Amino acid sequence: MIQEYTNGGEVARPVEPFDAKKPSKIKDAPWGIDVAGWNYESGTIVHFLADDKIFETLNYKLPFFLQQLKEYAYLTAGIKFEVVDRRTDQHFFYYFEGGIKTFLKSLNRSKIPLNQNIFYANKDFDNVNVEVALQYNDSFNENVLCFANHLKNNDGGTHLTGFRSALTRCINEYAKKSGYTKDGDGLSGDDLREGLTAIISVKLESETLQFEGQTKGKLGNSNVKTAVETVVKEALETFFEENPKDAKAIIEKNMLAMKARIAAKAARDTVIRKTALEGGGVLPGKLADCATKDPKRAELFIVEGDSAGGSAKQARDREIQAILPVFGKVLNTERARLDKVVDSEKFKSLIIAIGVGIGESYNAEKLRYNKIIIMTDADVDGAHIMTLNLTFFYRHLTDLITDGHVYVASPPLYKATWGKNKKYLFDDKEREKFLKTPEGKTAITQRFKGLGEMNADELWETTMNPTTRRLKLVSVESAAHADIVFSTLMGDEVAPRKRFIQTHAKQANIDF
């Protein structure tokens, strides 16, 4: 059956049998993208050709389509997907016979798995198909993806609630029975999240689906909670009995997390007692705070080093801009538990300055600055320091990123002067382009070695002035992809990082 739509409505036309050998109507169209099943006799073909009279832009974001179709291929094992970009004649194929188990392996590929056998359950309960895959790894972070009828639910919902309930009950029962814990000394839900990677996929009748909000980010069906909880608990009990080595590895990971949680709470309470928002405390000594008490207007610049911090303090707008100098490279929080993070003097100062707390004490209403701006030198060392700070925010203060509070400053790399004129160039491409212009051929180009080398006027004009600066908002479009990137580049495993470097070496902008 063929359906065709144009000008916002369906075209009335006789149904013609599909002929795979017949040329596509949009083969020569510059903006066409096809999404097709592999077997043209039994598959589905969808053609995209947006109407420029309706859409502002026809420049499709191909990565969005690829990510969507790749997830569909994972979630429907054995189905082959083909994406054809008619603009460039690129072809992409996705086929995963292992389904969500293969999906889970890809999420954990840069980590060391603890339970060598992947937990997997697929069963119908009360008209709900429940499919779950689970594996613990050596990291300190949780990565759980939820889907309902293939729609990703970034905010979770009843299927996530049921999963967590079953996981907590089953692990605590096994830990108590095996002598790991005693009465009144159970593992909390937070203890079970450290190093957990899981995929939860439920399928039910489309007309019964209930979501909270327009984005369908959170599933609301109450019966799904019971279905997932029942299926997961029953299957996990069997898994533990049949795989005692895997059960032991998981429980021992959970026990370490519990000890770290207790230590983190003690360290976090110390931080909270020192924060001015809790009353009677003082802000970090090196923080040059702004005058305004309105968080919506306030900005916090995190600056590396005393020299750059000094320039930034002179350049800033004291009414709305605060400066926190942090000397040297901070802790790599990809490789550290929360107790180590809050015990780090550099992050302790930052946590106190931001004001929202961390971990269980996080409170978005106590945010002291609407914009938190990481400002580092425009060189390799600066990029490294920026990455370490971004790792901290992504792993421990993720909500600040998702709520749009974290930014990266863009200081210039060069300053070109000719006569009484000057121009700031922010990267090598801008410099090369400028040098080809008539004035560029006579200009003297100076490279900034760091923020501290810029005088206050230059730093204000190029990097801090809200009307002229370039700020990059930090966002996470795909949490799963971001988790893989951070684990690959910042984790303990060397092999994935080596492969990444070898693959992308030719794309590197090397700073000599």
Residues with catalytic roles? 304, 377, 379, 381
Distance (Å, rounded) from C-alpha 178 to C-alpha 185? 14
Distance (Å, rounded) from C-alpha 384 to C-alpha 382? 5
Distance (Å, rounded) from C-alpha 399 to C-alpha 402? 5
Burial class for 37, CB neighbours closer than 10 Å (0-12, 13-18, 19+): middle
For residue 198, give the nearest of 233, 167, 244, 234 by alpha carbon: 167
Q: Identify the DSSP state of 288.
A: B
Place of tokens 């009307």: 467
Q: Are 418 and 443 in contact (CB under 8 A)?
A: yes
Sheet containing 151-152, strands listed edge to edge, beginning at the edge strand earlier in sequence: 119-125, 128-136, 196-203, 143-148, 151-152
Structure token pair of residue 69: 């179709």
Distance (Å, rounded) from C-alpha 359 to C-alpha 349? 16
Give the DSSP per-residue string, 140-197.
S--EEEEEETTEE-TT-BHHHHHHHHHHHHHHHHHHHHTTS--TT-PPPHHHHHTTEE
The crossing angle, in degrees rounded to 10, of helices 158-177 and 244-274 is 110
Give the chain's length: 512
Cβ neighbours of 391 (radius 10 Å)? 21
